Amino acid sequence: MAATRAYLDYNASAPLIAEARSAMVAALDAANPSSVHSEGRAARRLIEDARRDVARLVNAKPEHVVFTSGATEAASTLLTPDWQMGRGDVRMSHLYVCEADHPCVLGGGRFAAAQVTRIGVDRNGIADLDALTKALAAHDRADGLPLVAIHAANNETGVIQPIGRIAEIVKAARGVLVVDAVQAAGRIPIDMSAGYADYLILSSHKIGGPKGVGAIIAHADLMMPKPLINGGGQEKGHRAGTENLPGIAGFGAAARAALAGLDAMEAVAQCRDEIEAIVRELAPDAEIFGAAAPRLANTTFFAIPGLKAETAQIAFDLAGVALSAGSACSSGKVGPSHVLKAMGYGDSLGALRVSIGHTTGAGEIEAFRPALAAIAARRAGKEQAA
Ligand code: PLP
């Protein structure tokens, strides 16, 4: 990315960190990690080192990490009625997701639409825990177990779900909990050893690693979903196909840096607060979504009355500032945010998302201010003309 531009779209994809790039380049010449010769064993070591580093990021055991092609594949694998424990089959008869989940969870994976219940969120974006409790109480275990999937932190608003409480509710209902920690990992501490979730979903490119690699992380050696991809038995049979070695090596390096960076989130929060102060100063009528709830330190999602988000995004881009109108994960899709809709905001003109990271600093903030000032001035001009 050009140094002269201000990149404020980390939740879409965080810039590749130098350590990840070096690890990837070093892995490009690696042999097949399933080969038994020395070259193969060296390649295997790269994968197992990365597995250890990814596990450490969330305090899990390396043997419980399964590498995938990203979080979307991890979700599609986990969200299935068909599971196995040893040689026995286990059935999940219903899936409970959250209205504000990422589409890869909201879509219900391999469940039929009739087997999926969506739990709403309040005005702050927090899941309705009473509704979840009631839905699980009504679950008929005769057909199978309840599977609950929810994001730890929202990709648009940054709002953090009370996963501790949710885990208690799911445990009391003897259900299984999948947590999409794609935006939370590396931004808040996650401790799988303390029973944070039964299964976790991670994505490398949100923490400074390469795109196209992610992971499923299990809490224990219990059951696993029937694989989505069958073949040569890689990843202990949970995800076949010769491993994406450069991707996995880059993911490992990014996970190592993300763990170290957890101690420096205060500086990221300060930067985000400065950006919000500029928004409030230049557009006092702006609404910052989820501001009353616990939020990730790196995210702000706001709407300015009378300002169409897509138009403002283009104006920011022309001014050298890359940010998002809603979520950018669904590549160029223009439409109202389903997250804001779930929070009760209806079809508004849309919102702008600024998401930052450890490398964001004064330069980016200096670029953001005049860009927003110009947009706000144009809005004021239009209001006067009207
Ligand atoms: N879950 C959340 C919360 C996300 O923000 C994203 C991507 O934006 C995904 C899942 C999908 O991740 P991936 O791009 O690795 O498939």
The pLDDT tens digits for 70-81 are 999 999 999 999
Using a pLDDT cut of 70, give the percent of the chain over it. Answer: 96
Give the ligand 1 atom nearest the CA of 72: 16
Residue of 98, 104, 271, 329 marked active site: 329
- Compute, in angstroms, the gap from residue 103 CA to the centroid of ligand 1: 8
Least confident of 186-190, 235-239, 262-266, 333-337: 333-337
| 329 included as an active-site residue | yes
Q: What is the pLDDT at residue 2?
A: 43
pTM higher than the cut 0.85:
yes
pLDDT tens digits, one per residue of 343-386 = 999 766 789 999 999 999 999 999 999 999 999 998 877 777 76
38 CA from centroid of ligand 1 (Å): 36
Q: Ligand 1 centroid vs 209 CA: distance in angstroms?
A: 13
Question: Which atom of ligand 1 is nearest the CA belonging to 104?
Answer: 10
Ligand 1 neighbours, Cβ below 6 Å, are: 70-72, 102, 104, 151, 155, 180, 182-183, 203, 214, 329
Ligand 1 atom index nearest CA of 151: 3
* Closest residue CA from atom 5 of ligand 1: 155
Tell me, in angstroms, the distance from the centre of ligand 1 to residue 377's CA.
35
Q: Residue 18 pLDDT > 90, yes or no?
A: yes
Hey, whose CA ends up nearest to atom 7 of ligand 1? 329
Pairing outcome for strands 65-68 and 214-218: antiparallel
The answer to whether residues 95 and 147 touch, using CB atoms and an 8 Å cutoff, is yes
What is the pLDDT at residue 331?
46
When pLDDT is averaged across residues 83-93 and rounded to a whole number, the result is: 95
User: How crowded is residue 327: how many other Cβ atoms within 10 Å of its Cβ?
Assistant: 20
